[in-house]
Structure 1
Amino acid sequence: MFNININENEAREMLQQAIDERVEELASERYWLTYKQLSEYLNLSKPTIDDLLIKNGMPYFKVGSTYRFKKSDVDNFMNSITSHMNIMNNDLKNLKVK
């Protein structure tokens, strides 16, 4: 048998630290993305986003003259289009979603 002694206060501190780190991580996640942030998030250029994603129905919102992308919409759209791809059909440039 193992005899493990746990200091209750130390365990509470470790748990609280883990909770605090996760809360901070969730709070820092973005709800809206700018073009630049979307480009970095998807690792695609703005022209590629325009030509391959927006023209194929990726949702966006205008705020004045700027565009915003809801992160959950982007994730859902990318999951939707990539679910149709396979090893033989994996080129975004041949994407036809509409």
Structure 2
Amino acid sequence: MINIDINEEAARELYLQKLEERIKEVDVELVYWDSRELKRRTCLSWNTIQKEFFYHPDFPKYKIGHKWMFPAQDTKKFLLQYLRENVG
């Protein structure tokens, strides 16, 4: 008979550490977001994005042809700052 004891707290910490590492890898993979990714990341509709912050002078956006592109790191930084300053 084999008996295995698992330290649940250590297993949980290891799991959370690996999850955080993977999230950072995924975030690094995208250099630009398109409007679909911006909507997904913010959980907002396109109308709400336009109403709330799209036209803010500091919001980083570039139009390439007919498509809007948003630099991922700059956009995340803007969104966090905007949220801190304008919500709640």
TM over 0.5: yes
Residue type at the aligned position of 2:55: K
CA–CA separation in structure 2 for the residues paired with 1:78 and 1:53? 9
CA–CA separation in structure 2 for the residues paired with 1:73 and 1:40? 17
Match of 1:95 in 2: none
CA–CA separation in structure 1 for the residues paired with 2:70 and 2:64? 10
Q: CA deviation at 1:28?
A: 6.3
- Using the size of structure 1 for normalisation, the TM-score is 0.56
Unaligned runs of 5+ in 2: 1-17
CA RMSD of aligned residues (A): 2.6
Q: CA deviation at 1:27?
A: 7.9
Residue 59, structure 1, aligned to residue 60, structure 2: yes
**Structure 1 ranges of 4+ moved more than 4 A:** none
Paired residue secondary structure (2:82): helix
Please list the CA deviations of residues 50-69 of structure 1 after superposition, one character each: whole Å capped at 9, or x if unmatched.
Answer: 11111223110011111001
- Using the size of structure 2 for normalisation, the TM-score is 0.61
Q: CA deviation at 1:81?
A: 1.4
Residue type at the aligned position of 1:33: W
CA–CA separation in structure 2 for the residues paired with 1:80 and 1:27? 18
How many corresponding residue pairs?
Answer: 67
Q: CA deviation at 1:79?
A: 1.9
